[in-house]
């Protein structure tokens, strides 16, 4: 339940999801208009048949029961015209309530919500008071060994990963990940890099270099393999 606000925030931030919700709301308004119209026509036909005393709520009740194919039979027409009208309402209810509504709900709300729920598993910023953590810019053999050491010493760390699908895979592997572009300064601001204890900038073979320079505090002449002995024992 704690993830629900984040999920809905992601859902509303996405332009496509907002358009989908707008279309879903239009469809629901169309259904409400159909129920209102059917209720009005119900009263017109009932008055024409001489059946009076039905409230407006009864008209809405009859329209919904007929459209949903429940049809309890407690309110019925006596004329052929009324029966034809009932069939028209029933067919439109099958099309709109039993076919289009579930499809529209899944396509325009449920599927985007599931995607937002999936994306909310990976943060896009760390808490503002984060300090003393380790920032890892790439996932590779050196980083994997360093993460094991950090977990041993219970040292907080964040691995920067630009690809959401890959980030979700790493989360499933119990890796602390944050989604963000490696060459975007704002990404490192969201990582609170100014409060970090260490920034480890490794690079896999064939990977393009970053367009911005990241400064890592490391003694001169120390190789990446020396990080395997970090953090120092107290």
Q: Please write the tens of the pLDDT for every residue from 208-225.
A: 554 443 443 333 344 443
Q: CATH fold of 4-119, please?
A: Helix Hairpins (1.10.287)
Minimal CA–CA distance to 124: which of 178, 164, 74? 178
pLDDT in tens, 134-183: 999 888 888 888 999 999 989 999 999 988 888 888 888 889 999 888 88
Rounded to two decimals, the pTM is 0.53
Domain chopping of the chain, boundaries: 4-119, 134-229
Q: Residue 14's pLDDT is what?
A: 60
pLDDT for 206 beyond 60: no
- CB under 8 Å, gap of 24 or more: what pairs does 48-52 form? 48/79, 48/81, 49/77, 49/78, 49/79, 49/82, 51/78
Share of the chain above pLDDT 70, in %: 79
Place of tokens 């107290």: 234
User: What's the mean pLDDT when you consider all of the chain?
Assistant: 80
Q: Residue 74's pLDDT is what?
A: 87
Q: Residue 233's pLDDT is what?
A: 47
Asked whether the domain spanning 134-229 has the same topology as the one spanning 4-119, the reply is no
**Higher-pLDDT residue of 214, 12:** 12
Residue 21 corresponds to which tokens in the numbers above?
A: 């919700």
Q: Residue 31's pLDDT is what?
A: 93
Rounded mean pLDDT of 3-32?
Answer: 72
Q: CATH fold of 134-229, please?
A: Rossmann fold (3.40.50)
């Amino acid at each position: 339940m704690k993830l629900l606000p984040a999920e809905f925030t992601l859902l509303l931030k996405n332009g496509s999801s907002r358009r989908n919700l707008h279309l879903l709301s239009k469809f629901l308004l169309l259904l409400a208009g159909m129920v209102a119209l059917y209720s009005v026509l119900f009263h017109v036909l009932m008055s024409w048949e001489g059946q009076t005393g039905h409230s407006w709520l009864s008209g809405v009740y009859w329209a919904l029961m007929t459209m949903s194919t429940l049809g309890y039979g407690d309110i019925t027409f006596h004329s052929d015209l009324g029966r034809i009208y009932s069939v028209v309402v029933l067919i439109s209810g099958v099309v709109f309530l039993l076919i289009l509504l579930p499809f529209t709900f899944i396509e325009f709300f449920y599927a985007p919500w599931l995607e937002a729920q999936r994306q909310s598993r990976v943060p896009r910023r760390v808490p503002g008071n984060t300090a003393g953590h380790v920032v890892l810019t790439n996932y590779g053999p050196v980083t994997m060994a360093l993460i094991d050491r950090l977990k041993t010493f219970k040292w907080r760390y964040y691995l920067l990963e630009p690809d959401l699908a890959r980030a979700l895979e790493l989360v499933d592997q119990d890796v602390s990940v944050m989604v963000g572009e490696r060459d975007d300064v704002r990404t490192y601001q969201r990582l609170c890099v100014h409060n970090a204890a260490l920034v480890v900038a490794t690079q896999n073979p064939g990977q393009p270099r970053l367009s911005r320079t990241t400064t890592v505090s490391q003694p001169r002449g120390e190789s990446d393999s020396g990080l395997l002995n970090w953090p120092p024992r107290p």
